[in-house]
Amino acid sequence: MAVGYMRYGTFQNAGGDETFLEADRAGGKAFVAANRHNQFTPPTGGGVSVGVGGVGQVGTAGWSYGWGVMGSSIADGGLQAGVVGLGNGSANTGVVGEAHTGSAAWGVWGKSNQGYAGWFSGKVHITGGLTKASGGFKIDHPLDPENKYLVHSFVESPDMLNVYSGNVETDGSGEAVVVLPGYFEALNQDFTYQLTCVGQFAQAIIAEEIQDNRFSIKTDKPSVKVSWQVTGVRQDPYAVRNRISPEEEKSEGERGLYLHPEAYDQPRSSDINYERERAHEIIKSDLQKRAAELFEEHDAKK
């Protein structure tokens, strides 16, 4: 393939026509654009050197039976990135991923063997379901924030469970009324109760169950502090249409495979996504090799 260089650049307006470049070469490129200014240093905001720029309703588009667009960064450091999406307009979006065909379609796929497959700095909202192997919160330790983290696990349930709790003191007759949020009965069903007397031995019962978003407690002694907890199962329209099934049969293609084969001392080839990840690694390895060759090729011709 012939390689040409333009030292001073050029401009051409093709009007209503297209400019078409074609190559028919295994492992080759149809078009290469290089901007060598600061090419081996990360962008710092003081004028970014761009290899290829596109202007239009869609600035740059790629169509492929493999990867439509690939971005690869070969430098070390947290600032560098293979692909960056910036939404600079009002109510704009930085990156959009869509995949609508088949249950195994993934709009966005993040992978990391040592770091994080996804890192979100800010609020995250999910309109559909969320499944995970484990979860919790991780914060700077309140007693030693400079040197330690504090990590807690989520509380799990097979039901879409809401938990409410508090403390109340019964009056001189041993009675107390607990008022719940105004939306409680609209949101919840199948209530359960727990009562614990605090500070003295006493008996406590639910005198009247939840009605009109309140319930009453009765103790056998006056002025007893009672710690209470009430749970309810969600009954809002979304929850009713999207109940969680605690046990699911694996599909025909998933049987014999694992989400976490290492937990069962099984080989990586038993991972449900092994074939998909293996194909991804092969393509990625080849493209990274071609990217390295591209740098070497053009460095030799400077």
pLDDT in tens, 55-105: 666 777 777 777 777 777 777 776 677 788 888 888 888 888 888 888 788
What average pLDDT score do residues 109-137 get? 87
Q: Is the pLDDT of residue 293 over 80?
A: no
pLDDT at residue number 93: 84
The structure tokens listed for 127 are 């309109």
Would you say residue 4 has pLDDT above 60? no
Q: Which residue has the higher pLDDT, 6 or 252?
A: 252
What number of other Cβ atoms are within 10 A of residue 184's Cβ? 19
CA distance 298 to 93: 35
Better-predicted residue by pLDDT, 166 or 11: 166
Please answer whether residues 170 and 176 qualify as being in contact, where contact means their C-beta atoms are separated by less than 8 angstroms: yes
Place of tokens 């349930």: 157
pLDDT exceeding 70 applies to what percent of the chain? 75
Amino acid at 292: A
* pLDDT tens figures, 159-168: 999 999 999 9
User: pLDDT per residue over 14-49, tens digit each?
Assistant: 666 666 666 666 666 666 666 666 666 666 655 666
Structural contact between residues 138 and 190, judged by C-beta atoms closer than 8 angstroms:
no
Residue 272 token pair: 């449900």
Residue 216, both tokens = 């009453």
pLDDT score for 121: 87
Is 295 a residue whose pLDDT tops 50?
Answer: yes
pLDDT more than 90, % of the chain: 44
- Higher-scoring residue by pLDDT: 258, 276: 258
For the stretch 199-231, pLDDT in tens is 999 999 999 999 999 999 999 999 999 999 999
Distances from the Cα of 3 to the Cα of 8, 30, 31, 208, angstroms: 16, 11, 10, 86
pLDDT of residue 292 exceeding 80, the answer is no
Asked if residue 1 has pLDDT above 50, the reply is: no
Q: How far apart are the first and last CA of the chain?
A: 17
Q: Measuring CA to CA, how many Å separate 196 from each of 163, 204, 205, 225, 258?
A: 16, 8, 10, 9, 43
Task: Assess whether pLDDT exceeds 90 at residue 197.
Answer: yes
Please report which confidence band the pLDDT of residue 110 belongs to, taking 50, 70 and 90 as the band edges. confident
Mean confidence (pLDDT) of the chain: 83
Backbone angles phi, psi at 296, to 5 degrees: -65, -40
CB 52 within 8 A of CB 35: no
Question: Mean pLDDT, to the nearest integer, of 253-274?
Answer: 92
Distance CA 206, CA 195 (A): 8
277 three-state secondary structure: helix
Q: What pLDDT is recorded for position 225?
A: 98
CA–centroid distance for 265 within its chain: 27
CATH top-level class of 161-241: mainly beta
Q: Cα separation of 298 and 106, whole Å?
A: 36
Parse the chain into domains and list their residue ranges: 161-241
Contact 168, 229 (CB under 8 A): no
Token match 């070969």: residue?
A: 74
Q: What are the beta bridge partners of residue 178?
A: 215
Three-state DSSP at 279 gives: helix
pLDDT of residue 135: 92
pLDDT band at 142 (very low <50, low <70, confident <90, very high): very high
pTM value is 0.74
